[in-house]
Chain A
Amino acid sequence: MSRETATSRFVVPEFGSAGKLWVGFLAAVVLVGVAAWAYQLTTGLVVTGMRNVFSWGLYIMMFVLFVGLSAGGLIISSAPKFFHSHRYEGFARLGVLVSLACITVAGLLILPDIGRPERLYQFFTSPDFRSPMVWDFGIVILYGALNLWYLWLLTRRDLAARGSRLALGVEDTDAGRERDRTLMFWTAAVALPTAVALHSVTGWIFATQIGRGDWFSPLVAPVFIAKALVSGLGLLLVVSILVSRFTRFSVDREELTSLGKVLGIFLAFHVVYLLAAERLPHAWADHFGFWAITESFLIGESAYFWLWTVVGGAVPLVMLALPSFRKRVSVIFTASALAVFGTTFEGVRLVFTGYDAANIDAAPGISVGGEYAGVTTDIWASAGSYTPTLVEIAVTAGVIAIGALIVTLGLRYVPIQAEPESTAVATDGGETRREDR
């Protein structure tokens, strides 16, 4: 039985000229990225800013960021489902779409970092299960598949109702919808621990390493979880507000404000509490006087620290804490964008703390490799330094554009706006929600 009453709608019924321009722009960025990657493949990673001492760079920093970003949507849409609540229902589909895009970006960002991507099949033919990278490889693929499945599960009956081929033959029936609700519960039950595992395992890639400064800390995994909550929710809010501005997607103001408050709590837990918990023991053990301890506790070592804690932490936290302030959409948008921006620098800082100092730094140091011109004798470095090159930036931008394309096409071809059944007469219909749906 096919039901004619729509319970959802496409927020972008078709691409207008602005939409086409946007898609064209993203496609162009992807093409530039692909060209840059092809150049890097033929010339070697010598075209990046990475060298022997500082051997991971922008790709890994952005991988860490996007793994975190992929958390928000899935958690916001699956946590209420798991507790049989209808809260934040309006964000559920968009959230999973954004998660899917982010985990795709994260996975793809690994490719350009690999020296010989054509050998990646070794992950299947010769895996070493001691390696956190194998765990992460598995969990990223599982998480990506789970997102894809979840998005399809959330929308397949609606797709079927519209005769979309994306329904893949599923039919829109009441019994089917009922069964899907049970499936959604179980998917949510799997999705939540998978999300926790994803961020922990990504943290453990670093936290297991005894050779790289502050990486070796049991706190890294919990910090990655907190970071994922902050940046993932931040991105979901940013995207929701943008999408509601530029498409027919509408957000529930009350839920938006409520999620803004949740973001404030995540920020307080992450940037204030976990950071303090991480820094205090070191500050205390390394210094003697009270003010010396306090200073070392409060004052960070690099610009990245300040970009993260103040611009991406304290400022949005204050914005979301002031009751009169935090109800404004512009405030929620700015605070969320800052939170995502700040989290970016947390990943950057993490990689830098691992590589900027060498454990054994006696002269002449470590041979950095690459670009030996035969002119200078200075092939040595006793500390790491890194600046991304244009090639790295172009490749990274290309991969991120793929994520933006996924979101854009999702808005066009997947009914992102779930609607209460009773008000589903007009396709641009109501703002009201039915709690018992």
Chain B
Amino acid sequence: MTNYGLVIDQERCIGCHACAVTCKQENNVGLGQYWNRVLTEGGDKMDTPAGTYPENGEDGTLEMSYQPTACQHCDNAPCVKVCPVNATYTREDGIVEIDYDKCIGCRYCMAACPYNARVFNWDEPQTVPEDGTGDVPARPQGVVEKCTFCSHRVEEGLDPACVVNCPADARIFGDLDNEESTVSKYIKKYQTTRLLEDRGTDPKTYYIRGEMSPGRPQTSDKMESELDDVSVWSEPKDNGPVEESGGSGGGGSHGSLSNDALPHVPAFEGGDD
């Protein structure tokens, strides 16, 4: 069985909001709505740290990190359980998705979601340009919508847009049921947390905190399961830097960028940042 999940390396995240923006573009998310947003863990405002400046010879305590937040695609998803008409359901591959034809717009799922990951079309959604920029079904006024892990891309063997377009390679998408997948390996190897774990929702989105991971290994648009040769990066030898494999996977869609992007950061050094 496939059970898709997402690993977000908060040590890698640079807070650029590219995942939030590309999500809007890919999914034609209406103005005033976000399926995916980048939260600042720190001060009261976006991009502000908590703590104090280093003054009078004392050490400062300034601290800030970014937490990209979208639907967590929970295994025990309360939104799926509360939906009276089976409009929100869990797919065979673990993705929590909405059937917009069935949704009656009662918003019980929004009450159920502890992450506030869902948005409601309070009026007819507007996009710029009018027809939108992504190739997804339109959602009418009066339904709830949210992140789909870009299921329309996943079905074509492509990673979600936020994963592909993360310039810091901080987002890794894959099959949690496959022990050989990068997500499974990272979850095993690195210290991960899940949001509001105490609520028992069993989310499939994991956040790496502490030691930085090598990030998303492939530069291809394709999911790693679609790549021909995964052995190069899936079994790194003695903690060495992860080798680039984008070209060999046949995913040349990054074009010339795939060569520029060759060395990712050294894998397991400098983990204190």
Contact = CB atoms under 8 A, between A and B. Distances in A.
A412 to B, nearest CB: 36
Contacts of B123: 43-46, 370-371
Interface string B33-67: 11001011111111010000000000000000001
Nearest to B81: A130
Interface residues of B, number: 57
A211 B111 contact: yes
B44 A115 contact: no
Contacts of A366: 37, 116
A374 B127 CA distance: 12
Main secondary structure of the interface of A (DSSP, over half): loop
B201 A367 contact: no
B81 A131 contact: yes
A366 B32 CA distance: 10
B31 A210 contact: no
B86 to A, nearest CB: 5
Interface residues of A, number: 53
Interface in B176-207: 195-196, 199-201
A363 B48 contact: yes
B113 interface: yes
Main secondary structure of the interface of B (DSSP, over half): loop
A359 interface: yes
Contacts of A372: 30-32, 126
Given A115-B104, A126-B85, A131-B83, A371 B32 contact: yes
B116 A369 contact: no
A132 B271 CA distance: 47
A80 B40 CA distance: 61
B110 interface: yes
Given A116-B103, A210-B199, A367-B37, A131 B32 contact: no
Given A45-B105, A362-B42, 9 more contacts: A55-B111, A116-B104, A116-B142, A133-B106, A133-B108, A211-B199, A367-B37, A368-B32, A372-B30
18 contacts: A113-B107, A115-B104, A115-B105, A115-B121, A115-B142, A116-B140, A116-B143, A119-B105, A120-B104, A127-B85, A128-B86, A209-B112, A358-B116, A360-B67, A362-B42, A363-B39, A363-B45, A369-B122
Interface of A: 43-46, 48, 50-53, 55-56, 110, 113-117, 119-120, 122-123, 126-128, 130-134, 137, 205, 208-212, 354, 358-360, 362-372, 374, 379
Interface of B: 30-34, 37, 39-46, 48, 67, 69, 78, 81-87, 102-108, 110-116, 118-124, 126, 140-144, 195-196, 199-201
